[in-house]
Amino acid sequence: MATPAGPEHRQLLWVDNSQVLGVARTVDEALELFIVGPAITPASVLVGHHLSHDSWTRTGGAPLLASRLLLVGAAHFDSVAAFLCAELVANGVLTEPAKAFRRTEPVIELALQRLALSDDFAVGLLGELVLLRSLCARVPAAHFNEVLRGWKGHERSARDIQLGSLGIEVKTTRLPMSHHRVQGIRQVEQGHIPGGGLESSFFLVSIGLGDPPSGGGGHSVPGVIDDIVTTIRARAVGTTDDLVDAFLSRVNAYGGGAYDHSEPSHRALAGRVWGVSFVRAYDVLDPLVSVLRSVDAAKFGMLDPATIEFVLTLPTKVNGDLNPIVGLTAVTDAMLAGAWPA
């Protein structure tokens, strides 16, 4: 399939002679499935975010009314599109599109989840660094080095960022909602700070990544790292070269050494530019946050709580405008104020 000349153009490859099911590639190299006919109503919220219905104009002027399924970030996932087409055809899309889609929807939802997780490493690192960059830019100079040392995401630690007695767990997603995999109950409950004692507060910061803004200004892993290095040189206390080296060493240790900022090939592979679609800081100690706790797992004597993993879907509002805190600047300022009250 050829890449179209512009964002409003498509070169459809029809799966069937009756031209009911087609595949196209966008100008951004993502893949789309087109199902000709009336609008399809999905049962899955996730699928619904990727499905739209519209009218396109064929070459020659004839209208094309179709539902479009966008496989976000699917530039290298032609086999996924082929598999979904085969499933739709097997389920009768050529004669009963809506019924066939309903039968295939569980498989479509699973495929979308897999595609969303394909860039897990870069997405996870970028989310943590976007927040760290904001913290470094806004923290009072007296606490700059503490913020820099507070990033723990590169090591096996209880928190991604520890600011004094305030703990921060950063979860990043490519989905349009705060939908995150939790690897252990410790990630969603109050913990102990280094040296002993309980955390005074604990926030789960949910960051959504999506397409970059059309006017530019997106974020990439190497770009955010460079920004933090520049800020270290401008604001840090002490020998800045040593602090930069220590920071880059921790970046390179993230994910067991999967990324080396000094390697041009690594910078290129992690260089995809993203837009930040939302930032929400959830006060996990709020009793209105309904998640699994250690006290719940303790009821099952044959269960090892350390092995528990689950998926958490957080609403956009838990407690009015108080929880979550919304927006990168507001989240940053709240975290700093919580760590070092005025």
pLDDT tens per residue, range 123-157: 899 999 999 999 999 999 999 999 999 998 777 66
Residue 319 above 90 pLDDT?
Answer: yes
User: What's the pLDDT band for 237 if we cut at 50, 70, 90?
Assistant: confident
Which is nearest to 194 in space by CA: 145, 149, 154, 130? 149
Q: Is 183 exposed, middle or buried (0-12, 13-18, 19+ CB in 10 A)?
A: exposed
User: What's the pLDDT band for 73 if we cut at 50, 70, 90?
Assistant: low
Beta strand 166-173 with 201-210 is parallel
Which is nearest to 296 in space by CA: 189, 203, 205, 198? 189
Report the chain's mean pLDDT, rounded to a whole number.
88
User: What's the pLDDT band for 115 if we cut at 50, 70, 90?
Assistant: low
First to last CA, the chain: 59
- Residues 63, 55: contact at Cβ < 8 Å? yes
Residue 9 above 80 pLDDT?
Answer: no
Between 118-122, 141-145, 173-177, the lowest mean confidence (pLDDT) is in 118-122
pLDDT for the residue 146: 96
pLDDT for the residue 244: 96
- Alpha helices of the chain — where are they, by DSSP H? 45-50, 78-90, 97-117, 120-138, 144-150, 221-235, 240-253, 264-269, 294-297, 328-339
* Residues contacting 9, CB < 8 A, separation 6+: 27
Between 55-59, 137-141, 253-257, 288-292, the lowest mean confidence (pLDDT) is in 253-257
Q: Where are the domains of the chain?
A: 13-117, 120-339
Question: Considering the chain, what percentage of its residues have pLDDT values greater than 90?
Answer: 57
Q: Is 131 exposed, middle or buried (0-12, 13-18, 19+ CB in 10 A)?
A: buried
User: DSSP code of 3?
Assistant: P
Residue 290 above 60 pLDDT?
Answer: yes
| Cα–Cα dist 83/96, whole Å | 19
Question: Considering the chain, what percentage of its residues have pLDDT values greater than 70?
Answer: 92
- Residues 280, 316: contact at Cβ < 8 Å? yes
